[in-house]
Structure 1
Amino acid sequence: MNQERRQYFRINGKVAVDYKVITEDEMQHGRLPTQFQVSPFFLLLTQLHEFSHDNSYQLRKIAQKDPMVASYLENMNNKIDAIAHAIAKSDVEFENLSAQEINLSEGGLSFFSSEAIPVNSYLALKVVFEDTYTGLLLYGQVLYSGEQEEDGQYKIGVEFSDLPESSRLIVARYILTSQSRERQQSDEQY
């Protein structure tokens, strides 16, 4: 197992996953998979996170010069995020996706599939975080495909390929939020 992948924080969480086996050539045609039919709103929250990340430096500079303007801009950003969440919540469709417990890091994920997928296969992945309704379209390569389990499922391990920075940030934020939630629940039990 690649030591570099083990350096990422990992979390178990409930996420909706769909995949399509593709060729390496198909993966080279674009930064995001085109194998899924998605509405224009599917990636809305991802795009807004990317804009927020791109603008964070400028907002910090504005805050140093004029905190009132920075506060106003931050409030406008929060309004846009609230609208986007409402649109995404009403638009993201789960009928073709089944939420399942996965293991996730910034380097990849493992999930269960009803079919074995050959090691080194390339995948187009559609991932939806149900708690935030954020959708990601990603590429990956199968690192392992476990033996069939009692329930007929196969555990599939995938390493992300050419993960866009905006997607990496969303995955990282999901992991940190999940870890924080777990710590809070653990503290409440004691």
Structure 2
Amino acid sequence: MGQERRQFYRVEKDVALEVEVVSLEEVTRSIQPSQFEVSPYFELLAEVQELDKQQQDLIASIAQSHPEIAALFNLQAQKLDTITRTLASSGLKINHLTKQTINLSEGGMQCEVNNCKPGDYLAIKLIFSNPLLGVLLYGQVQRIISENTDSQKVAVAFYQMPESCRRLIAQRVLQAQTRHHDAI
């Protein structure tokens, strides 16, 4: 049962990814990596996403007694979301990002990373598409899964992940599981 449950909460996701091996000292300096060049729009997108979660609960409450007002708030939220995503997509720095399919869970991921070994700490810039969303977080290499001459596949556990990142990743995993379940 434990293995089945663990697999249920893992999904294959296409992402843009930038990873850098860092020291423990760098990890302890900040809750989120500062190694990457990010635009203010990248951070704006994450903040707006967090506010959207809070807003949806309030709109659901309003909708029970005032459906027209709730519909208006939903339209305003969609308008703001469209503007924010347009700004973010035009301002994302993608110089060192690679596109790859990762195996993702709320607690970690499997991905291709070069030049690392078990125990290494990683600074991770992870960008999802549709809808566009980016997170900055740390991870620790748990094991090397496979090696070849071009790259190695590694298992990474997220390390001291901010709650906001955990919620966003959990939401992505659940959305992917729901889409997969609906397709069956």
Unaligned runs of 5+ in 2: none
| Partner AA of 1:104 in structure 2 | L
Bigger CA drift: 125-134 or 32-41?
125-134
* Shift in Å, 1:93: 3.0
Within 1, Cα distance between the matches of 2:55 and 2:82? Answer: 18
Query: Cα distance 1:159–1:8, how it changes in 2: closer, same or farther (>3 A)?
Result: farther
Within 2, Cα distance between the matches of 1:182 and 1:61? Answer: 29
What is aligned with 2:140?
A: 141
What is aligned with 1:94?
A: 94
What is aligned with 1:125?
A: 124
What is aligned with 1:175?
A: 173
Is the CA contact (8 Å cut-off) linking 1:8 and 1:107 kept in structure 2?
A: no
| 1:6 aligned counterpart, secondary structure | helix
Bigger CA drift: 47-56 or 174-183?
174-183
* Shift in Å, 1:81: 0.5
* Shift in Å, 1:19: 1.4
Unaligned runs of 5+ in 1: none
* Shift in Å, 1:46: 1.4
Write the deviation string for residues 22-73 of structure 1: whole angstroms up to 9, x where unpaired: 2223222222211111110112221111112233333333333433222211
What is aligned with 2:49?
A: 49
| 1:135 aligned counterpart, secondary structure | strand
* Shift in Å, 1:183: 4.9
TM alignment of 1:96-115, pairs within 5 A: 96-115=96-115
Is the CA contact (8 Å cut-off) linking 2:122 and 2:138 kept in structure 1?
A: yes
Corresponding pairs, count? 182
- So what's the TM-score if we normalise by structure 2? 0.85
Within 2, Cα distance between the matches of 1:143 and 1:8? Answer: 20
| 1:36 aligned counterpart, secondary structure | coil
* Shift in Å, 1:178: 3.0
Query: Cα distance 1:119–1:131, how it changes in 2: closer, same or farther (>3 A)?
Result: same
| 1:128 aligned counterpart, secondary structure | strand
Write the deviation string for residues 119-172 of structure 1: whole angstroms up to 9, x where unpaired: 1111110011133331110111111123422x5311111111222232223222
What is aligned with 1:155?
A: 153
What is aligned with 2:71?
A: 71
Within 2, Cα distance between the matches of 1:163 and 1:59? Answer: 29
Q: State the superposition RMSD in angstroms.
A: 2.5
| 1:37 aligned counterpart, secondary structure | coil
| 2:37 aligned counterpart, secondary structure | coil
Within 1, Cα distance between the matches of 2:175 and 2:143? Answer: 27
